[in-house]
């Protein structure tokens, strides 16, 4: 006698499915999940975990966290990061110390794998939430992350 219970269960499950989609249909007016992208460019905010490009945040005194340890350069699987560094005398302590000259980041080669950011011991580089990164000149994609004249924040190596 499973014949009639099959019919009953079939109709019941079909109606359950239709009630779910019907609910979606009614609620669709309140808010669709579609972003009308070029129109809402001013208000569009990317979510926190979006991987736009790698940036190095600087504070108000033009200081960053990068000690020049080169862990990110080693971690990068395709050589998108190059660090030009130098040993200079630290004016405060009078000792010779490794300092970065340029933290060069090739956005054109980056696959957004995030291994450099995981490798960084001092959280000097982070993901930015920006988008629209395409440009007409390939050279513009090679970026120097540390700002000119910036220096490492004191005490970050301790």
Partner 1 sequence: MMNIPLNIVSTVHDWLFSIMPEGVATVTEWIIVAALYLALFAVIGLYLVLLERKVAAWFQLRLGPNRVGPWGIFQTIADALKLVSKEIYNPARVDGFLFKIAPYFVIVGALISMSVFPFSKQFQAFDINIGIFFLFSVSSIGVIGILLGGWASNNKFALIGAMRSGLQTISYELSVGLSLLTMVLLAGSLQLSEIIEVQRTGGWLILQGHIPAIIAFMIFMIAGTAETNRAPFDLVEAESELGAGFHTEYSGMQFAYFFLAEFINMFIISSIAVVLFFGGWLSPFGITEGITWFPEFLWFFIKVLIIIFLMMWFRWTFPRLRVDQLLTLEWKYLLPLNLVNLVIMAVVIWLNWTF
State the residues that interact with partner 1 by CB under 8 A.
7, 14, 17-18, 20-22, 24-25, 27-29, 31-34, 36
**Considering beta carbons, is residue 34 or 43 the nearer one to partner 1?**
34
Minimal distance, residue 32 CB to partner 1, in Å:
5
Please report, for residues 29, 57, 62, 114, 153, the alpha-carbon distance to residue 125 in angstroms, rounded to integers and kept in the order given. Answer: 41, 7, 15, 10, 14
Structure token pair of residue 112 = 């957004």
Minimal distance, residue 33 CB to partner 1, in Å:
5
Minimal distance, residue 85 CB to partner 1, in Å:
51
Contact 76, 105 (CB under 8 A): no
Minimal distance, residue 31 CB to partner 1, in Å:
8
Share in percent of the chain as helix, strand, coil (round to 5): 25, 20, 55
**Considering beta carbons, is residue 20 or 140 the nearer one to partner 1?**
20
- CA max distance for the chain: 93
**Considering beta carbons, is residue 39 or 137 the nearer one to partner 1?**
39
| Residues forming beta bridges with residue 151, ordered by sequence position | 63
């Amino acid at each position: 006698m499973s014949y009639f219970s099959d019919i009953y269960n079939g109709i019941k499950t079909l109606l359950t499915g239709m009630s779910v989609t019907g609910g979606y249909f009614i609620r669709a007016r309140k808010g669709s999940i579609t972003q009308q992208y070029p129109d809402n460019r001013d208000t569009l905010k990317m979510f926190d975990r979006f991987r736009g490009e790698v940036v190095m945040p600087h504070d108000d005194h033009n200081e960053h966290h990068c000690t020049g340890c080169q862990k990110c350069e080693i971690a990068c699987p395709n050589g998108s990061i190059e660090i030009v560094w130098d040993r200079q005398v630290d004016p405060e302590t009078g000792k010779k110390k490794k300092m970065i000259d340029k933290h060069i980041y090739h956005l054109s080669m980056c696959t957004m794998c995030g291994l450099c950011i995981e490798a960084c011991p001092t959280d000097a580089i982070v993901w930015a939430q920006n988008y629209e990164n395409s440009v007409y000149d390939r050279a513009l994609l090679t970026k120097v992350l540390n700002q000119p004249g910036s220096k490492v924040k004191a005490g970050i190596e301790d």
